[in-house]
């Protein structure tokens, strides 16, 4: 038997979710996988949406496979952007292609779609969720959520700049002085901080707010002014560094105090999303009506229902002269670099699991334990099991 035949086979299928233009790996990471003793298969046209052709993969040592069923048949390990949980309709067609013992890595929305994770378990695959990567130092290079949030925060500002009937920077011209745009970013996580940095680079006056007072220094280091509200946020941060969901009374007081800042803003970008939960309403319809004519709300939490009361996920509406945008899958609108970043994250994670040409599932390791969803026909992730036992499946 040749060395090539002994090598575990990594397969990268074409993404089938509507409008998804990313690909799980890019040609540049293929050599690192081959050097680790893996054979890499890529479905034909998998990189097309990101501007990457089959020849680019082939030149780095990957093998191009035309038939999806054949790709899955040969695969020991499958790398995806949107796995079944985050692609419930088209992804269902792949369920019949899985075989017991295969490894599947990708985004699965396990906290929102635990029932679909159970279906994967029944196929006997070992599924690893990229969105459950622990926020620890060792896992920083595998943190795909942060990578995609960076892209979303950047693109949100560009979307606002394109649609706003004003320019962002202050300009002093012979025709007079143009005042800079006023941008308010709600949520200073990865997406929010990138939005603050991008808006500042474009010359806007930027303010930022987060329920976690600890991020004030980060907002100010990027040139933004931190908005402090007279409200007790208590224990506002979970152990992973994410903002914790608060009760409705907290959000009500927060909206009252935030109304004035929103009314003074030309652009409001909201980024507050809680994994597996509906996004909190931070901007009411009344607050939108108080904004200047022509101003814009970009709701990056639209996929979770939205932070703005008027948001319609996937749509752009105009209410009393204010544009409210609820974009979905924003990273896919910048597919080349989104794919590049995701490829680095997922390939680093894969190489964390592969030792001497073998997949080692060590559940004593925090990274492995926290991302492992299914194994040996069962759902093994504690939080997903809790959701299933409480009846929160579909």
Q: How far apart are CA 365 and CA 222, in angstroms?
A: 35
Give catalytic status of residue 201 as yes or no.
Answer: no
Give catalytic status of residue 143 as yes or no.
Answer: yes
| Residue of 44, 56, 135, 383 marked active site | 135
| Residue of 56, 146, 163, 392 marked active site | 146
| Residue of 140, 221, 320, 389 marked active site | 140
DSSP-assigned states of every residue in 362-376: -TTSHHHHHHEEEET
| Residue of 14, 21, 80, 143 marked active site | 143
Q: Per the structure block, which two tokens stand in for 59?
A: 């030149």
Q: Which SS3 state, helix, strand or coil, does residue 192 take?
A: helix
- Give CA 2 to chain center in angstroms: 40
Residue ranges of the alpha helices (H) in the chain?
3-6, 30-35, 54-59, 68-74, 92-95, 114-122, 144-163, 190-201, 216-221, 248-263, 285-289, 335-353, 366-371, 382-389
Q: How far apart are CA 247 and CA 197, in angstroms?
A: 30
Share in percent of the chain as helix, strand, coil (round to 5): 40, 20, 40
| Residue of 44, 76, 166, 242 marked active site | 242
Q: Per the structure block, which two tokens stand in for 9?
A: 């086979």
Q: How far apart are CA 20 and CA 43, in angstroms?
A: 15
Q: Judge contact between 32 and 345, C-beta under 8 A.
A: no
Give catalytic status of residue 135 as yes or no.
Answer: yes
Active site positions, annotated: 135, 140, 143, 146, 242
């Amino acid at each position: 038997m040749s060395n090539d035949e002994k090598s575990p086979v990594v397969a990268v299928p074409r993404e089938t979710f509507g409008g998804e233009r990313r690909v799980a790996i890019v040609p540049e990471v293929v050599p690192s996988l081959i050097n680790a003793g893996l054979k890499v298969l890529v479905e034909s046209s998998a990189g097309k949406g990101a501007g990457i052709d089959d020849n680019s993969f082939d030149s780095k040592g990957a093998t191009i496979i035309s038939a999806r069923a054949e790709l899955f048949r040969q695969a020991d390990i499958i790398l995806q952007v949107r796995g079944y949980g985050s692609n419930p309709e088209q992804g269902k067609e792949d369920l019949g292609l899985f075989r017991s013992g295969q490894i599947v890595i990708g985004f699965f929305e396990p906290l929102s779609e635990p029932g679909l994770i159970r279906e994967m378990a029944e196929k006997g695959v070992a599924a690893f969720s990229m969105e459950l990567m622990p926020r620890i130092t060792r896992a920083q290079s595998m943190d795909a959520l942060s990578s995609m949030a960076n892209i979303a925060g950047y693109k949100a500002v560009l979307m606002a700049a394109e649609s706003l009937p004003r320019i962002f920077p202050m300009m002093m011209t012979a025709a007079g002085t143009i005042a800079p745009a006023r941008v308010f970013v709600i949520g200073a996580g990865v997406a929010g901080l990138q939005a603050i940095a991008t808006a500042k680079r474009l010359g806007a006056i930027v303010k930022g707010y987060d329920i976690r007072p600890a991020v004030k220094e980060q907002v100010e280091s990027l040139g933004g002014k931190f908005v402090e509200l007279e409200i007790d946020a208590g224990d506002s941060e979970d152990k992973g560094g994410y903002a914790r969901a608060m009760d409705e009374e907290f959000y009500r007081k927060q909206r009252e105090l935030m109304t004035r800042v929103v009314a003074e803003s030309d652009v409001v970008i909201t980024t507050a999303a809680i994994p597996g939960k509906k996004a909190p309403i931070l901007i009411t319809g009344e607050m939108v009506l108080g904004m200047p004519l022509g101003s814009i709300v970009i709701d990056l939490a639209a996929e979770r229902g939205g932070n703005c009361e008027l948001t319609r996920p996937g749509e752009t509406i105009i209410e009393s002269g204010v544009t409210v945008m609820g974009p979905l899958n924003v990273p896919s609108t910048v597919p080349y670099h989104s794919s590049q970043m995701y490829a680095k994250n997922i390939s680093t994670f894969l190489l964390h699991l592969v030792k001497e040409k073998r997949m080692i599932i060590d559940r004593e390791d925090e990274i492995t334990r926290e991302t492992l969803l299914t194994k040996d026909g069962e759902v093994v992730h504690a939080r997903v099991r809790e959701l299933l036992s409480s009846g929160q499946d579909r």
